[in-house]
Amino acid sequence: MAKIIAGFASSHVPAIGAAIDNKQTNDPYWTRVFSGFEHSKKWIAEQKPDVVIAVYNDHASAFSVEMIPTFAIGCAAEFAPADEGWGPRPVPVVKGHPELASHIATSAILDGFDLTICNKMEVDHGLTVPLNLAFGSPDAWPCPVIPIAVNVVQFPPPTGKRCFDLGRAIRKAVSTYRDDLRIIVFGTGGMSHQISGPRAGLINSKFDKAFLDGLTKNPKKLAAMPHLEYMREAGAEGIELVMWHVMRGALDDKVKELYRFYTVPASNTAVGHIILQNGGGNSPKKSKNAKKVAPKKAKKPTRKAA
């Protein structure tokens, strides 16, 4: 029987992908960000997941204003990197798991949770940047990935509770899959940031850290947070955090926080990361940089966050 062993949540800042692609990870501006994921790369290499279910949002690559599914699941055998305006990222093609993806879609839909089935879909930085942060830059990703796209770009996005419930539906589906698979669920996006308007550049570290606490200790209360509070406290693009609720809903009620990392800035956003293991109490390992939020002066990257 398949089982979900852990959740892995992280920001998916496109400038992080640019730093990787342009061999800038050791530059002064980026050293702190990438050092915060060294522990995570070692951890996930030890876990050797058979499948990753990656919850992310598309940035007008696979979808557009002409067609915007609230929730979509990739059921294809592979997903090519999307051209986001400067050519596809030089990362491996993402290999899917059509059998498990179709099983999840069937289980969720027959239980009344509608998913859009995508048998062809390109994936952008929302998915590939977290894969880099978890697995580095291999010639091929070490396991199949099932993409689950959530609309957080066009109003109205789903509520945190609806995302949490989707996680519950995924958990149920996985528990009834016949093969013995070890699965890690990724939640991506966030944390607080706003890329336009009078509050462009907003970062609310107090809110971000409270969100990380709530994700571990009181996820149902956290999932009830209304859209307006995300907008007010975390900025317009802070709404991406609802995707972390899908990951959390897929886990057990009680989890063990294995690791967290938080720093600013990366482009014009905060970078957050947490690993939650099913079962147990809370004794998190924190990055030595987790409390260092004042950046050193350095040349800023040219790409903007999205």
Which amino acids are annotated catalytic?
125, 193
Nearest in space to 266 (alpha carbons), one of 212, 207, 306: 306
Residue 14 phi, psi dihedral angles, 5° rounding: -60, -30
Q: What is the DSSP letter of 217?
A: H
Contact criterion met (CB below 8 Å) for 150 and 71: yes
Measured CA to CA, the distance from residue 52 to residue 35 in angstroms comes to: 23
84: left (phi over 0), alpha (psi -120 to 50) or beta: alpha
Nearest in space to 302 (alpha carbons), one of 92, 27, 9: 27
Ordered alpha helix ranges (H), the chain: 14-21, 31-35, 38-47, 98-110, 125-135, 160-175, 205-217, 219-223, 227-234, 242-249
